[in-house]
Structure 1
Amino acid sequence: MAFQLAPTAIADGYRLDAHETVGSTNALAIEHARAGDPGKLWVVASRQESGRGRRGRAWATPQGNLAATLLLIVGRDLRVAATLGFVAGLALSDALDAVAPGARIAVGLDGGQSMQGGRFELKWPNDVLAGGAKLAGILLESTMISDERAAIAVGIGVNVAAYPEGLPYPATSLMALGARADAATLFLALSDAWSVAMRDWDEGRGLARIRKRWLARAAGLGSEVAVRADDRIVRGVFETIDEECRFVIREEDGGRIAIAAGDVHFGAVASAGAV
């Protein structure tokens, strides 16, 4: 099955640039923007050779996995556009529910107790988990293309056929979970779910709805966490995400701290201090 857009995505004006192999879908999307592309363009591949995650980390996309980037053109104020990562998480988790309703999920959160159920969860700020194991990652990148416009590349990588081993955290793939969906089937569902989630987001006016939906899928909500933010580690209980989608921790003394960026660890890893 070749990559294709859902009818809802086509009706909403999205376009498709599909490849078997690319260097990086995010990089290619930004190239399109600099060449004058108007946005609402999905750049998709079943293999990328130089993908990357947050903080420049490598993100492997072997043949059969999904690498998808949505190019959007927005105004110069990027604060609201930054919340598109939460839209992406919701759209992807909805798409996963659609293509893998019977997936076997029974993995612990960062080494914690085993969790049973068929629910895909969202780990702040940019991961999708299957019972605590990383299934997908999301990366937003931006660049100014004029004095008044910016290009946003919403990158989404999903372990469909394979997942990396030897990582400091558990990982999984749709195939390992028993799902039969391939990358093209998942992308078709993703393009549909994205259109629905974007209508909820409503150019940022519906962020409260997005936040509520995201919290309903949040991994580790109410549990002990450790967050590495810049050069320090903050420990406490994951209480919520605030109106700006920052990660809110309740510390042992009852104080609350909101974190805009950092690496989150749950359960046994947080308790052991191994971050």
Structure 2
Amino acid sequence: MTPWRLDIHDELGSTSDLCLERAQAGEAAGLAVLARRQLRGRGSRGRDWQDPGGNLAFSVLLRPEGEGAWPAGLWPFIASLAFYDALAPWIPDPDCMRLKWPNDVLLDGRKAAGILIESGGDPGGRWVVIGFGANLRVAPPIPGRDLACVAEHGPPPAPDVVAQGICDGLDRWMAICAGAGFAPIRQAWLDRAHPLGTRLVVRGESGQVEGSFEGLDAQGLLLLRCADGTRRISAGEILLLDRGATAPPAGGGIAAAT
């Protein structure tokens, strides 16, 4: 079990930035930083993460070693499973909450939560900082983005309760991965993901491709069935087409991470 140490701030620039600073200063694994309001949150692909207050801005510092030193590509799945399980008690209809590759949490097909993972090393060994951002009380209004929040489904949980649930989930899924490898992680992620056959668009540096979700390969790469066959996707922005909406424009401000 990780020796978690919860550090709560009323206001903070970025929970992940604080974890990164502590990691580079030699902080031990188990630091967990929660901000009741975050001023300079960071999302994926350099986007800003807007925090109106009352939502989740939370980051953790881990130092994987020994059996926990699995490939970096497994962390998005471990983290997203912990996140999903921490939010699930406040979503009465489990069918409305799904995971989107590799680590977004959707409510009714709209993004409600996401993760940003950063890693590095120092003389003390490797470190991983995982930032968790969730719209608990309100979805910030972002032009061109259709976001969801937990409060649409009932009274939202307090951020510190979700943070503790994430820590418990990380311990659980890290132990499963250490004991049995990626296979049970992969299956648990697929059980919580949008259905096979879901139409997707993948945006990357060289353009975009459309196809249907065919699952994950043994390394966690996205399998996308396209007109010219099945492709293995290692990176890109994934957009769902089966909600009856067109793909939104690229831009900043999604509720992604901290």
TM-score range, shorter chain: 0.7 to 0.9
Aligned to 1:222: 197
CA contact (8 A) 1:132 1:170 kept: no
CA contact (8 A) 2:91 2:97 kept: no
Aligned to 2:237: 263
Specify which structure has the bigger relative contact order, considering alpha-carbon pairs within 8 angstroms and separated by 6 or more residues. 2
- Tell me how far apart the structure 1 counterparts of residues 31 and 77 of structure 2 sit (CA, whole Å): 19
Q: How far off is 1:151 after superposition?
A: 1.8
Which residue of 22, 30, 34 corresponds with 1:32?
A: 22
CA contact (8 A) 1:22 1:48 kept: yes
Aligned partner of residue 49 in structure 2, secondary structure: coil
Residue 32 of structure 2 is aligned to residue 55 of structure 1: no
Which residue of 154, 174, 198 corresponds with 1:198?
A: 174
CA contact (8 A) 2:101 2:222 kept: yes
Cα RMSD, aligned residues only? 2.5
Decide whether aligned partners of structure 1 residues 101 and 226 sit closer, same or farther in structure 2, where only a CA change above 3 A counts: closer
CA contact (8 A) 1:227 1:265 kept: yes
Decide whether aligned partners of structure 1 residues 14 and 273 sit closer, same or farther in structure 2, where only a CA change above 3 A counts: closer
Alignment of 1:139-218 (within 5 A): 139-146=116-123, 149-202=125-178, 206-218=181-193
Q: How far off is 1:273 after superposition?
A: 6.8
- Tell me how far apart the structure 1 counterparts of residues 156 and 200 of structure 2 sit (CA, whole Å): 34
Q: How far off is 1:246 after superposition?
A: 1.0
Q: Which amino acid aligns with 2:54?
A: G
Decide whether aligned partners of structure 1 residues 119 and 273 sit closer, same or farther in structure 2, where only a CA change above 3 A counts: closer
CA contact (8 A) 1:60 1:164 kept: yes
- Tell me how far apart the structure 1 counterparts of residues 164 and 224 of structure 2 sit (CA, whole Å): 36
The alignment's TM-score, normalised by the length of structure 1, stands at 0.82
- Tell me how far apart the structure 1 counterparts of residues 133 and 20 of structure 2 sit (CA, whole Å): 17
- Tell me how far apart the structure 1 counterparts of residues 231 and 107 of structure 2 sit (CA, whole Å): 27
> Which runs of 5 or more residues in structure 1 are unaligned?
1-10, 104-116
CA contact (8 A) 1:235 1:270 kept: no
Aligned partner of residue 147 in structure 2, secondary structure: coil
Aligned partner of residue 144 in structure 2, secondary structure: coil
Aligned partner of residue 227 in structure 2, secondary structure: coil
Q: Which amino acid aligns with 1:224?
A: R
Aligned length: 248
Decide whether aligned partners of structure 1 residues 273 and 97 sit closer, same or farther in structure 2, where only a CA change above 3 A counts: closer
Aligned to 1:235: 210
Aligned to 2:253: none
Residue 87 of structure 2 is aligned to residue 96 of structure 1: yes
> Which runs of 5 or more residues in structure 2 are unaligned?
250-258
CA contact (8 A) 1:30 1:151 kept: no
Decide whether aligned partners of structure 1 residues 268 and 196 sit closer, same or farther in structure 2, where only a CA change above 3 A counts: closer
- Tell me how far apart the structure 2 counterparts of residues 234 and 265 of structure 1 sit (CA, whole Å): 11
Aligned partner of residue 21 in structure 1, secondary structure: coil
- Tell me how far apart the structure 2 counterparts of residues 217 and 269 of structure 1 sit (CA, whole Å): 17
Q: Which amino acid aligns with 2:81?
A: L
Question: Percent same amino acid among aligned pairs?
Answer: 34
CA contact (8 A) 1:46 1:62 kept: no
Residue 241 of structure 2 is aligned to residue 250 of structure 1: no
Q: How far off is 1:274 after superposition?
A: 6.5
